[in-house]
């Protein structure tokens, strides 16, 4: 819910770039763009990168007027003073290669992946925890199918990850090509199923001829 504090000091867009009033204004834009989950990720991505690289966050303070000590402190500090965002989520947004991807998709995929990690057992030998039988389909990382596939490809096969983002491959096909998943075995069709496929592919004339042959047979 929006409160009076949200409008206490919105900064000044016309102030010198990098000055405290300008940084407060830019911070407000960042918060607004963070909420626009139906927009392209680039709307938030490049502002985050610039805000971090130029250390604009150092011009801002918490609700006790104390300057933020690190980028992570600023990012995760609750609104309106901070972004109220997990540092890992901000990092994922800044590293997203597909600028046209929806911000909501990036954040949802990240949340699903982090939730899956939290549910996994901690400690011990990961090779034993992941899969005692060695089935690569069950190997880390887990999460939603698309999110897990994109995260694994981005980490271990960026070449295939780029092809998936360009639409040349589906995430699942990319995982199979990379060897992270097994190709599903094709089910052998029965004669009836094969006949159905042939009939479905027939033209109207071919079907009428086939129907006549079945009746006269």
Using an 8 Å Cβ cutoff, are 99 and 90 in contact?
no
| 74-127 per-position pLDDT tens digit | 999 999 999 999 998 999 899 888 888 888 888 877 666 666 666 655 554 444
Residue 158 lies in a domain: yes
**Coil, helix or strand at residue 159:** helix
pLDDT at 128: 44
Q: Domain of residue 19: give its range.
A: 4-95
Helices (H), 170-203: 171-178, 191-200
CA separation (Å) from 42 to 34, 45, 77, 107? 11, 5, 22, 13
The yes-or-no verdict on residue 146 having pLDDT over 90 is no
Question: Which one of 95, 129, 150 terminates a domain?
Answer: 95
Tokens of 25: 């204004």
With a CB cutoff of 8 Å and minimum separation 6, the contacts of 60 are 20, 23, 24, 27, 67, 68, 74, 81, 82
Q: Name which of 67, 71, 68, 69 is nearest 53 in CA terms.
A: 71
Using an 8 Å Cβ cutoff, are 97 and 161 in contact?
yes
Give the predicted TM-score (pTM) of the model. Answer: 0.52
DSSP secondary structure of 39-60: SBTHHHHHHHHHHHHTTGGGG-
| 12-34 per-position pLDDT tens digit | 989 999 999 999 999 999 999 99
Residue 198 lies in a domain: no
Tokens of 110: 């990240």
Residues 166 and 85 in one domain: no
Number of domains in the chain: 2
Question: Which one of 60, 95, 130 terminates a domain?
Answer: 95
| 153-189 per-position pLDDT tens digit | 888 888 888 887 777 888 888 888 988 888 777 667 7
CB atoms within 10 A of CB 142: 19
Residue 151 lies in a domain: yes
Residues 137 and 54 in one domain: no
Long-range CB contacts (within 8 A, 24+) of 143-146: 143/109, 143/112, 143/113, 143/115, 143/116, 143/117, 144/109, 144/112, 144/113, 144/116, 145/171, 145/172, 146/109, 146/171
Residue 45 lies in a domain: yes
> What is the rounded distance in angstroms from the CA atom of residue 153 to the CA atom of residue 159?
8
Place of tokens 């990168």: 49
- Beta bridge pairs of residue 67: 61
Higher-confidence residue: 143 or 53? 53
Cis peptide before 196, with omega less than 30 degrees from 0?
Answer: no
């Amino acid at each position: 819910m929006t409160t009076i504090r949200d409008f206490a000091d919105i900064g000044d867009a016309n102030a010198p770039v990098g000055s405290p009033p300008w940084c407060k204004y830019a911070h407000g834009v960042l918060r607004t763009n963070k909420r626009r989950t139906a927009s392209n990720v680039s709307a938030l991505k490049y502002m985050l990168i610039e805000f971090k690289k130029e250390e604009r966050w150092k011009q801002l303070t918490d609700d006790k007027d104390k300057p933020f000590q690190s980028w992570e402190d600023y990012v995760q500090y609750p609104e309106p003073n901070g972004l109220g965002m997990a540092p890992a989520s901000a990092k994922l947004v800044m590293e997203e290669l597909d600028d046209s991807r929806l911000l909501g998709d990036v954040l949802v995929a990240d949340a699903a992946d982090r939730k899956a990690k939290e549910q996994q057992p901690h400690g011990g030998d990961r090779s034993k925890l992941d899969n005692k039988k060695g089935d690569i389909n069950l190997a880390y990382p887990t999460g939603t199918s698309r999110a897990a596939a994109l995260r694994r490809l981005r980490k271990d096969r960026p070449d295939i990850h780029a092809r998936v983002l360009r639409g040349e491959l589906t995430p699942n096909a990319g995982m199979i090509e990379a060897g992270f998943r097994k190709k599903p075995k094709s089910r052998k069709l029965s004669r009836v199923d094969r006949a159905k496929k042939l009939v479905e592919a027939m033209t109207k004339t071919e079907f009428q001829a086939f129907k006549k042959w079945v009746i006269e047979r």
